[in-house]
């Protein structure tokens, strides 16, 4: 089976390349193809002739999207629709990676795939519009929503927290936003299984065990040996950001279990996360250009949201 991965240098894509155990995966990043350029995509699909396409490329800086909605739309929505058209014309199946931020967080219980989307920020709106457009072009596509993605290399909440902890003794972290952290390697393995199962429709995949960003930070610092760093729980309004975040964005994984796939609780993944950091020079790498914030964090002066 020939598989094309678009977004191969991002937070998720780079580990997908590593986890794929066959020689039939072609990975491309933003330097190889601009998903906003339909002619580049046509040429790419003609060369690769994929049977499956995985679209993991996106502009995921939530606050950046709020400040530049046109870029968010062009990359996350128009770009995804371009990929869907190219996949359809090449007769390739498509798995599109989406987000928990298509929901507004008002439900209070885990979101099911069939729940109505109602994004409250530009990033979530661009992904929700992309989902709609992709479905219209490829009704049999697989849309995979995930949440709070993290990994050893790239901009994400744990890497920011650990970097702050190196120089500060007290961090202020939001405690009233609830979600499920998801380790990128575990999500990569899920995607591989879904592709092999010829998955279709909308599926949710996140690691079991809901928590707040504050809970997450405390677990990370404990696991990383930063026992002297205190974490102060604060409210969302105490750390204002340009983009609103859903207060509750936990995803139900019942749709994933339909395929016989279960993920590890996120606390059980922290050992592998820290092992990855050790293998990659303590997590201090150059960040790929298209890798951006996967969760609501942009920390300044010891504040993380």
List the catalytic residues.
123
Residues listed for the chain: 305
Interior CA angle at 292 toward 291 and 294, to 5°? 115
For residue 26, give the H/E element and its range: strand 25-28
Query: Phi and psi (nearest 5°) for 301?
Result: 50, 40
Interior CA angle at 201 toward 210 and 213, to 5°? 20
**Euclidean distance between CA atoms 236 and 248, whole angstroms:** 12
Assign residue 262 a region (left: φ > 0; alpha: ψ between -120 and 50; beta: otherwise). beta
Within a 10 A sphere around the Cβ of 237, how many other Cβ atoms? 8
């Amino acid at each position: 089976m020939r598989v094309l991965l678009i977004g191969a240098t991002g937070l998720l894509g780079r580990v997908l390349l590593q986890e794929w155990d066959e020689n039939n995966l072609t990975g491309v990043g933003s330097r190889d193809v601009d998903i906003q350029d339909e002619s580049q995509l046509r040429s790419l699909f003609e060369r690769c002739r994929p049977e499956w396409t995985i679209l993991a490329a996106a502009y995921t800086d939530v606050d950046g999207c709020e400040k530049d909605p046109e870029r968010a739309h062009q990359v996350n929505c128009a770009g995804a629709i371009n990929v869907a058209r190219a996949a359809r014309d090449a007769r390739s199946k498509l798995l599109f990676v989406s987000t928990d931020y298509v929901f507004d967080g008002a439900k209070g219980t885990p979101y099911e795939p069939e729940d109505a989307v109602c994004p409250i920020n530009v990033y979530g709106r661009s992904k929700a519009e992309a989902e709609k457009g992709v479905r219209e072009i490829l009704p049999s596509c697989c849309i995979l929503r995930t949440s709070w993605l993290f990994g050893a290399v790239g901009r994400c909440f744990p890497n920011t927290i650990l970097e702050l902890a190196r120089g500060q003794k007290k961090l202020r972290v939001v405690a009233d936003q609830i979600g499920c952290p998801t380790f990128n390697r575990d999500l990569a393995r899920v995607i591989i299984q879904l592709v092999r199962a010829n998955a279709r429709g909308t599926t949710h995949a996140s690691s079991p065990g809901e928590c707040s960003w504050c809970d997450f930070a405390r677990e990370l610092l404990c696991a990383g040996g930063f026992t002297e760093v205190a974490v102060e729980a604060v409210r969302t309004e105490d750390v204002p950001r340009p983009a609103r975040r859903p207060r509750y964005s936990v995803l139900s994984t019942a749709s994933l279990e339909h395929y016989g796939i279960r993920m590890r609780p996120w606390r059980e993944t922290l050992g592998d996360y820290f092992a990855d950091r050790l293998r990659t020079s303590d997590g201090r790498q150059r960040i790929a250009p298209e890798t951006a914030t996967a969760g609501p964090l942009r920390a300044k002066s010891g504040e993380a949201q």
